[in-house]
Amino acid sequence: MPGRIAITPRSLSGSGHPVLTRLLDEGFEIVFPAPGKTPSEEELLLTIPGCVGWLAGVEPISTRVLDAAKGLRVISRNGTGVDNIDLREAEARGITVERAMGANARGVAELAIGLLLSAYRHIPWSHQHLAKGEWCRRIGQEVKGRTLAVVGCGAIGREVVNMALGLGMEVIGYDPYPDCRFAPTGFRFEGLENALVAADAVSFHCPPGEKPILDAAMLSRMKKGVIIVNTARAELIDDGAMLAALEMGQVTALATDVFHHEPPESSALLSHERVILTPHAGGFTEESVDRATSVAVDNLLKNLVRP
């Protein structure tokens, strides 16, 4: 038998996926360290040693786990982000890291736009009051003619740009490596600060840096009443500064699909009435899971069977 392959994404480790049979057909054994949930470091340490391949999700992959991963040849992400993996440490151990580039772009982009519209029209707030038998209305705003800043214009960001343009928004993009060939009507690239200051709403589609992009200083410079959508990483936003901005009305709403820990612990920010939450579901659509799983399996087989 060629060896074992660990499957850790929550979208796959509960009930599996038909595409995984391709691994079985090649003679691999499939193991699930934590079916239906994100595995802990201890669960990974019990399972990863002896595996030659790993179809990984967003779980943190520590140096301790990499040290124990004797025989591991490839980590294949079922998404784009690899900030949960120390790439230098993986490379030092001869482990190839592969990504499913763009596979979940449409799903994440649609959720971002859905969160944006939910914030502008107060959909979750309205539902909560009606479900309790309370007839309450909060006036909303239309998105046509408003300016959206898209921070990170890779595959996901470009999908968001096109959807927002279709809604009649003006869109400013920021990317550290802007692709000037991407130039739809109504869109332009700007520097990060210029984009944020000009925006009525912001949607994040980039990896985190050494410090949050939205801290107290940046939030204070932005338009009063700005809406923030984050389907990228929680570390892009300073939680304390965001809570203060919501309390002061500087930010109308924060809609987030990402958290520092999953599931998140309760906090004053996450329980705020102007915060909209979804459980890291951006790429959790039937279509995105199918595409990402297929690409991730292709990348495993490319490294393990067809080098």
126: which 2 tokens?
């309205």
Name 69's Cβ contacts closer than 8 Å, sequence gap at least 6: 48, 49, 51, 54, 93, 95
Choose, from 22, 89, 262, 272, the residue flagged as catalytic: 262
CB 251 within 8 A of CB 227: yes
Cα separations in angstroms, 134 against 119, 124, 242: 20, 14, 28
Choose, from 10, 73, 99, 233, the residue flagged as catalytic: 233
287: which 2 tokens?
């279509």
In the residue annotation, 158 being an active-site residue is answered as no
Report helix, strand or coil for 160.
helix
In the residue annotation, 260 being an active-site residue is answered as no
Report helix, strand or coil for 275.
strand
DSSP 29: E
Tokens 């939910």 belong to 118
DSSP 20: G
Choose, from 73, 122, 280, 291, the residue flagged as catalytic: 280
CA distance 92 to 85: 13
Q: Residue 1's closest CA among 299, 306, 304, 307?
A: 304
In the residue annotation, 91 being an active-site residue is answered as no
CA distance 2 to 4: 7
What's phi and psi for 36, nearest 5 deg? 80, 0
Q: Which residues are catalytic?
A: 233, 262, 280
